[in-house]
Amino acid sequence: KALLPALRRSARPAAEETADASPRILIVSSMSGKMPVPLLSSYTSTKHAAVAFAGALPNQPAYAPSVVSAVQPAASGSEVHG
């Protein structure tokens, strides 16, 4: 309830620059949201849930004018993944 009004207010200045003034919501997930990872069922299920949430959110009446995207990057070389 608190996020959406602030998001809509922040989109108003963009309306002056472009024809598309819809608020944008970006959800960062993982490729695990598309492909299960063996032995990581908890991680994989949360990523599937994030992708499903991104797909369902624009169909909610309160968020209908919003543009929702899910980004699903692959693993990258880091201390976490080696």
Mean pLDDT, the chain cut into blocks of 10 residues (82 residues total): 68 56 80 82 89 85 75 76 54
Each residue of 47-64: b (16+ CB within 10 Å) or e? bbebbeebeebeeeeebe
| CA–CA separation, 40 and 17 (whole Å) | 44
Residue with tokens 């994989």: 44
Q: State the pLDDT at residue 1.
A: 61
Q: State the pLDDT at residue 18.
A: 58
Dig out the tokens for 32 from the structure: 């695990």
| CA–CA separation, 66 and 54 (whole Å) | 11
pTM of the model: 0.65
